[in-house]
Amino acid sequence: MDKGTVIGLVAGLGLVIVSMLMGGSVAAFFDIPSLLIVLGGTFAATLVNFPMGDVIGVMKVTQKVIKEEIMPSSKYIDQIVDISKKARTNGLLAIEEDLNNVDEDFMRVTLQHVVNGTENEDLGKLMDAELAIMTQRHKIGQRMYSAMGTYAPAFGMIGTLIGLIQMLQHLDDPASVGPGMAMAMITTFYGALFANLFFLPMAGKLKLRSEQEIQFKEMLLMGVMAIQAEESPRVIQSKLVTYLTPAERKTMAGAGEEG
């Protein structure tokens, strides 16, 4: 469960609502038609921009971002080092029985290739291609949220223009000018809020998540290929530890000394 995303959204909305309450009521800011043109327009432009399947799929991606745990790299480094010890003692085929204990799909598939005897260079090429294509798939989610972060303020402005043009055509009643402009500006407010509290930050988080995942899988791939090349477990560990942050390294070193 990614707490940051949820806390950020709740806190941001909370602040905005408190800010409204201090100057009057929240009700004045809640207008279904305004909501409809901003969110609906954004969604319509997104449908023109992206394949329909991806637009629907973005809900799933969003859920994934909010739910998913970050992967504990150190656990997998330990597992790779353990497997490398076994492989050095009993040969590469002995890995097969460990495959079921590997709970990471990409790592298991790569190890399966090792057991199947795919050659080192071919394995590298195959898995690099897989990562490249995965990166490209991830980018669509980021681009969709970025695009929505552009379309939302634009449709906010479009809504405001509609409201202003209608108000300006009927200036007979001066008393209605203020509320008319206030009404017109609500769509701009919605556009700015959705873009800056949700769409753009989500695009940012998807980008970071994707980078983390790719880096994590590159680490796994490097580890498995080192197993295949029958490098010493010590060397493999020192290579993989490069991928950890200084903090993670200390934790791992501490655990290692105990072990």
CB 163 → its own copies: shortest distance, Å? Answer: 6
Q: Is 163 in the site for its own copies (CB under 8 A)?
A: yes
Per DSSP, the three-state class of 236 is helix
CB 43 → its own copies: shortest distance, Å? Answer: 8
13-22, long-range: CB < 8 A, 24+ apart: 13/197, 16/193, 16/197
Q: Is 211 in the site for its own copies (CB under 8 A)?
A: yes
Q: Is 243 in the site for its own copies (CB under 8 A)?
A: yes
Binding its own copies (rule: CB under 8 A), the pick from 15, 93, 253, 255 is 15
Binding its own copies (rule: CB under 8 A), the pick from 67, 68, 70, 232 is 70
CB 76 → its own copies: shortest distance, Å? Answer: 16
* Rounded-to-integer distance, Cα 48 and Cα 159, Å: 19
Q: Is 224 in the site for its own copies (CB under 8 A)?
A: no
CB 98 → its own copies: shortest distance, Å? Answer: 22
Per DSSP, the three-state class of 119 is coil
Helix 73-90 and helix 246-258, axial crossing angle in degrees, nearest 10: 50
Nearest-CA neighbor of 181 among 194, 165, 196? Answer: 165
> From the CB of residue 224, how many other CB atoms can be counted at a distance below 10 Å?
27
Closer to its own copies by Cβ: residue 26 or 91: 26
Binding its own copies (rule: CB under 8 A), the pick from 87, 195, 225, 226 is 195
Q: Which of residues 99-138 bind its own copies (CB under 8 A)?
A: 126, 129-130, 133, 136-137
Q: Is 59 in the site for its own copies (CB under 8 A)?
A: no
DSSP run (H or E) holding 226 = helix 200-228
